[in-house]
Structure 1
């Protein structure tokens, strides 16, 4: 019994690309259950035909999707079935979790939409494929049975994450060559699932309660990766590292074992103080990613973010003081934004002067509280999922493609993007002039966005 695990393609306008380490964890679990597994990352390939050509023949395929690439997954499923005959195809991810029956209704080549975490449900589907016992009553999914779409009960979440195996990094790398700017493939690690916070726009709300691995189990995996691959750079890919005791526990384990590693993570600003940052730096933390979203306190409160602008500013000051690099995420064009809130956010971003940046346009995830808010007010212009995850650096019409925005908000977004991008890339170009070796510190992502910036300004002049 062979299971194909496929990562659906990401569009060219997403800001950055990282290897799907969660698929490597799933692969390890399925192998532990006795199944053969193959992994193909469609994000590194062009088109369904190439994805299927690079995949082994299998009995069951499972495709990880977000919201924007569900139709790509259906095309991959179609080509798989043309090649492999009776193969069954499942999808999992945010959209199948939120709208499992709709996913199957709109994508005729997909047989199962798995809700929340996939391990137990996919293993049961694989077992039923093997013994021919049928798929009625498989909890944790919607299924296409005798031409009808049926949704079954949710499956309980896995409580003991420590019992799950390490990610199968060799299998992930076997057919997938990742560019060097993403950092060592082997160094991506998950320490938890879900999120303890309740930001009303976040897809983490779809995936159940927060659970975490023990610090010792996390560092056991890190230690094995160091021994097996010689990697000394790690990225913790949790929604957010929390709580404080969990972070400190991991730091203590790293230092107790004498591991000389460098690592990056995402943490909320309301957890940060000088003691925590000091311990993190001592344990090898060199960069922290912070979700700021907005500089308008009213907007933050409307998002149920649970942080203050003062906490943001203090956190960035402490990071500069201790020599920890920062990455700042802001989210613009949401239903609570005004021209003034957007100006304030760009002003704050420039004052913070982060080392790296991620600037995204708001779009609502189905079944989140903010989706309901936008639907009730008629703000959502389309439910064509391929239009989601737009990026105005690549696409000049992206600002209000999904959500209705006023002309004043759109003008402020354009003005702010131009202002911020100019300062952001001027900073890196000045560093390159002073030290050409800085090129090795600037990810290819930044170079790509520099080209986008030139195109953005050029397009603006033409349209103006």
Structure 2
């Protein structure tokens, strides 16, 4: 039995397409190693590196029995286009997975010609589907976690239980070597992504992670994580991007991982662009992370107004954010603090609180993003009931719009014009911080004011977007795992 994985290309938040993905799709890499362990043959096509003409040839020559596609909620149209292209060129059955399926369930089969969809984690469900197809079985109702077609109906089976921490430890390390690794940006920097845990126990009302990975926090043990780091280090990979949603949720485990790195003497660097919670760190842990090789991390603040933080159920305070940023700064850890504009109950005044709070932080970068109301989140339900969509509901997820100055929706209390004013101030502050970090405070400030001239500003945005923006974009894309 053989499966061909097809990875749709993504649109950059800075405009255009990501011509070369930062690295192989981490979720697919884990699936590949799992399937290989179970004697399934694998082929891969990354649309970000190829073209539809090459995809057509790949399908003809791969002799695949099944085609698998991973779907992101944002840029989902790229996935739809790939599905339609494939189904118009072959009768090979096609299965779709990823966070978008977990959020929208049957919708993916209602709107495309895909044959199957897998919700939540894909390892066990995909392997079971492959075995059914190989055995010419059609009793798909027995496969937990599967969505499938029966005559003219779309059937959604019951959910499959999430993998336990013990089962995560038993998964083989991701198979990046199955990809054309030299074609990715990470090959030049010798940087690989790493996932050490799944799930999030928190209740942030805008986040879709719990829809795809569940509320239970499940994690690989410290020794298992260190073994993977050592495995890749021995293969001359020296830098790692940890993609967890809650890497420091278990602070003792995070501390143990760092201890093992330090005691082993291996020299690595690691970053946490995906973000960690300010209430799950302390000075001692951050100090240990620095010693172990942490060179960058992000803190999710989301709002500089404590009332808004309560409304969105973030479970932190601005005081905790400032303390965490101060600790990281004092230790010399480069870090960003991330904010979202347009939360439940946000107004021009509360959003301005975020701007002013961001200015007070001793961080290297601040990021301001438009709120994206992901399907079936609390924020989405709130926006449907209380807001007017500026971008058509059927269109706003087709392109990445975190960094677009145009908001997705407006309310009577926070109009489109006011939202655009705030996001512009936020983007300007982001650029100012970047220039100060790259060029030093004095030269950075001079350059910042110089680039307020329109033509130079456009050039600066493109340069900043290429050098730094793609990293944040790549990490945003990791919310989806097939």
For Structure 1 versus Structure 2, the TM-score category normalised by the shorter chain is 0.7 to 0.9
Q: Secondary structure at the match of 2:315?
A: coil
CA drift at 1:68? 2.7
Structure 1 gaps of 5+ residues are: 436-443, 454-464
Residue 112 of structure 1 pairs with residue 116 of structure 2 = yes
| Residue of 453, 456, 463 corresponding to 1:447 | 463
Aligned partners of 1:446, 1:216: CA distance in 2, in Å?
42
Q: What are the within-5 Å matches in structure 2 for residues 41-440 of structure 1?
A: 41-45=46-50, 48-54=52-58, 56-83=62-89, 85-107=90-112, 109-137=113-141, 138-159=143-164, 160-174=167-181, 177-180=183-186, 183-185=189-191, 187-206=192-211, 207-208=213-214, 209-228=216-235, 230-241=236-247, 242-265=249-272, 266-352=275-361, 354-380=363-389, 382-387=392-397, 390-391=400-401, 395-396=404-405, 398-400=406-408, 406-417=415-426, 419-428=428-437, 430-431=439-440
Q: What is the number of residues matched between the two proteins?
A: 437
CA distance in 2, matches of 1:23, 1:450: 25
- On the 8 A contact 1:333/1:413 being kept in 2, the answer is no
TM-score, normalised relative to structure 1 = 0.85
User: Contact conserved, 2:370 with 2:423, CA < 8 A, in 1?
Assistant: no
Q: In the superposition, relative to structure 1, how do residues 261 and 120 fare at CA in structure 2: closer, same or farther (>3 Å)?
A: same
Q: How big is the shift at 1:78? A: 2.8
Find the residue that maps to 2:67 and give its secondary structure.
strand
Counterpart CA distance in 2 for 1:203 and 1:18 is 23
Q: SS at the partner of 1:43? A: coil
Q: Which residue of 1 aligns with 2:450?
A: none
Question: In structure 2, do the counterparts of structure 1 residues 171 and 315 end up closer, same or farther at CA, with 3 Å as the change threshold?
Answer: same
Q: Secondary structure at the match of 1:66?
A: coil
Question: How has the CA–CA distance of structure 1 residues 406 and 57 changed in structure 2, closer, same or farther, with 3 Å as cutoff?
Answer: farther
Using the alignment, how far apart are the partners of 2:22 and 2:30 within structure 1? 15
The answer on whether the counterparts of 2:146 and 2:157 sit within 8 Å (CA) in structure 1 is yes
Q: Deviations 1:418-462 (Å, cap 9, x if unpaired)?
A: 531452344256349979xxxxxxxx9972538999xxxxxxxxx
Q: Given that residues 342 and 412 in structure 1 are in contact (C-alpha distance below 8 angstroms), is that contact kept between their aligned partners in structure 2?
A: no
Residue pair 2:197, 2:219 contacting (<8 A) in 1 also: yes
Alpha carbons of 1:225 and 1:347: their partners in 2 closer, same or farther (altered >3 Å)?
same
Name the SS for the 1:104 alignment partner. helix
Structure-1 separation of matches of 2:305 and 2:258: 33
Return the offset for 1:378. Answer: 5.0
Residues 51/357 of structure 1: CA separation in 2 closer, same or farther (3 Å cut): farther
Q: Given that residues 372 and 408 in structure 2 are in contact (C-alpha distance below 8 angstroms), is that contact kept between their aligned partners in structure 1?
A: no
Distance across 2 between alignment mates of 1:414 and 1:284: 34
Residue from 27, 34, 43 that aligns with 1:29: 34
